[in-house]
């Protein structure tokens, strides 16, 4: 987005409007000081993007360090709230007025020239010189990139592939759902293993109740459900949110229940170890689900279901919190790249080199 005031100020220094004035990707761009510069506003901040090639090598690492140092020293004056110097360009975010923003653009250009960064004569993707062929202006959202014909076609193909791929991925959520269930099942097994081996070992003397700590395994079940989904399906859709949360809770509850029943074989109020054959008795399975103790005997036996539901609630809470954290961490990334890509041929020969010479003097 861009406001009229900023657009007017920018057009005074040679910028032109790209896109419709009212569209969300409306922005201005120009070949300015020998660089293709895009400018726009986002969330009340002014942003500028300078397209160039900045290959990762030793010499450039020094330049990058040098420029970062220089930037940090100037951020206050130009009200720079953020900047990013990458291999294919520089992005600066300014929280100041239009005048400050324009000064910042000039400052960036002079800094780029000072560090001998290759501008409009070179492709911002492969770094090759354009020569006689006109370069292509490739637009990602509000950022304009200058590329040679070959790189522009590659970028376009890559974009189209990614688009069809993501459409394709939509249809294949089933492996993700199955993966999520299978991994969550492993989490249930962890519950059972802890109840079967760890709890009797620790609780054998009757002094400590480790079952409340075992409840934390609910978080492990949620993490496994999440990993299982991500392994088999990269695309994040409603299916991911539903299956990870449902399986987290379902398999936590299952693990908690089966674990409690099995532990009851080994440790129970009567103090005897029940034989495994007790499991064939339906009543044995119900002990944890409902209070089976008759009212007149209530003072002689502890109600197992009360403890079980308490443990179930704690472990479900662990699972829910862990699943929520993991799923929310995905949101930002899945929204990120949805901008359309456009390719246009532009001429930079007239203004580019001339301005560069002027500035170099």
Binding site for Zn ion (CB under 5 A): 123, 125-126, 148, 151
Nearer to Zn ion, 151 or 225 (CB): 151
Three-class secondary structure of residue 193 per DSSP: helix
Nearer to Zn ion, 126 or 313 (CB): 126
CB of 56 to Zn ion, least distance (A): 16
Exposure string for 84-107, b = 16+ CB within 10 A, e = fewer: ebeebbbebbbebeeebbbbbbeb
Nearer to Zn ion, 148 or 219 (CB): 148
CB of 138 to Zn ion, least distance (A): 10
Q: Would you give the end-to-end CA distance of the chain in angstroms?
A: 35
Bin 34: left if φ > 0, else alpha if -120 < ψ < 50, else beta: left
CB of 152 to Zn ion, least distance (A): 8
CB of 124 to Zn ion, least distance (A): 8
d(CA 334, CA 237): 9
Q: In this structure, what are the phi and psi dihedrals at residue 335, rounded to the nearest 5 degrees?
A: -85, -30
Three-class secondary structure of residue 289 per DSSP: coil
What DSSP state is assigned to residue 194? I
Q: What are the tokens at 249? A: 């809770």
d(CA 12, CA 210): 72
CB of 33 to Zn ion, least distance (A): 21
Q: What are the tokens at 145? A: 């990139």
Nearer to Zn ion, 88 or 356 (CB): 88
CB of 361 to Zn ion, least distance (A): 29
d(CA 25, CA 30): 16
Nearer to Zn ion, 122 or 229 (CB): 122
d(CA 337, CA 316): 34
Nearer to Zn ion, 151 or 253 (CB): 151
Query: Which residues neighbour 215 within 8 Å (Cβ) at sequence distance 6 or greater?
Result: 256, 311, 314, 315, 318
Which position has the token pair 């409902």?
290
Nearer to Zn ion, 62 or 126 (CB): 126
Compute CA 110 distance to the chain's CA centroid, rounded to the nearest angstrom. 35
Q: Exposed, middle or buried, 294 (CB in 10 Å: 0-12/13-18/19+)?
A: exposed
Nearer to Zn ion, 151 or 287 (CB): 151
CB of 347 to Zn ion, least distance (A): 17
CB of 121 to Zn ion, least distance (A): 12
């Amino acid at each position: 987005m861009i406001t009229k005031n900023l657009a007017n100020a920018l057009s005074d220094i040679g910028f032109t409007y790209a896109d419709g004035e009212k569209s969300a990707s409306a922005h201005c761009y120009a070949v300015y000081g020998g660089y293709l510069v895009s400018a726009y506003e986002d969330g009340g901040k002014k942003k500028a993007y300078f397209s160039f090639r900045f290959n990762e090598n030793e010499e450039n690492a020094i330049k990058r360090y040098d420029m970062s140092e220089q930037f940090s020293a100037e951020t206050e004056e130009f009200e720079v709230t953020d900047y990013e110097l990458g291999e294919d360009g520089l992005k600066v975010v300014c929280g100041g007025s239009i005048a400050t923003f324009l000064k910042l653009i000039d400052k960036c250009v002079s800094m780029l020239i000072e560090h001998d960064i290759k501008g409009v004569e070179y492709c911002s993707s492969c770094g090759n010189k354009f020569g006689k062929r006109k370069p292509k202006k490739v637009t990602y959202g509000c950022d304009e990139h200058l590329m040679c014909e070959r790189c522009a076609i590659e970028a376009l193909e890559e974009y189209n592939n990614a688009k069809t791929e993501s459409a394709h991925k939509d249809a294949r959520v089933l492996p993700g759902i199955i993966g999520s269930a299978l991994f969550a099942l492993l989490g249930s097994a962890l519950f059972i293993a802890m109840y079967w081996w760890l709890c009797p070992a620790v609780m054998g003397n009757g002094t400590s109740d480790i079952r409340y700590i075992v409840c934390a395994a609910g978080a492990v079940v949620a993490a496994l459900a999440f990993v299982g989904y991500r392994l088999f399906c990269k695309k994040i859709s409603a299916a991911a949110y539903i299956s990870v949360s449902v399986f987290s809770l379902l398999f936590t509850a299952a693990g908690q229940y089966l674990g409690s029943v099995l532990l009851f074989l080994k440790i129970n109020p009567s103090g005897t170890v029940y034989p495994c054959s007790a499991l064939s008795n339906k009543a044995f399975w119900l002990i944890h689900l409902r209070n089976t103790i008759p009212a007149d005997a209530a003072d002689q036996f502890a109600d197992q279901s009360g403890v079980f539901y308490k443990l179930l609630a704690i472990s479900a809470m662990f699972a829910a919190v862990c699943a929520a954290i993991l799923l929310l961490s995905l949101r930002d990334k899945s929204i990120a790249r949805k901008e359309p890509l456009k390719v246009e041929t532009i001429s930079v020969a007239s203004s580019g080199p001339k301005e560069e010479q002027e500035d170099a003097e």
